[in-house]
Amino acid sequence: MTSVRELFSLQGKTALVTGGSRGLGLQMATALGEQGAAVVVSARHAAGLDDAVAALRAQGIAAHAVVADLSDPAAADALALAAIDRLGPIDILVNNAGAGWSAPAEDTTLDAWDKVMNLNVRGLFLLTQAVGRRSMIPRRAGSIINIASIAGLAGNPPGTMKTLAYSTSKGAIVNFTRTLAGEWGAYGINVNAIAPGFFPSRMTHGLLNDMGERLAAGAPLGRLGGDEDLKGAVVLFASGAGRHITGQILAIDGGVSAV
How many CB atoms lie under 10 A from the CB of residue 84?
18
Task: Give CA–CA dist 55/65, Å, rounded.
Answer: 12
Task: Give CA–CA dist 223/217, Å, rounded.
Answer: 7
Active site residue 166: yes
Q: Is 100 helix (H, G, I), strand (E, B) or coil?
A: coil
Out of 65, 71, 91, 166, the active site residue is: 166
- Diameter of the chain measured on Cα atoms: 58
φ and ψ at residue 94, rounded to 5 degrees: -110, 110
CA 170 vs. chain centroid, Å, equals 11
Task: Give CA–CA dist 78/246, Å, rounded.
Answer: 27
C-alpha pair distances (Å), 90 with each of 185, 189, 240: 17, 12, 15
Supply the residues annotated as catalytic.
166
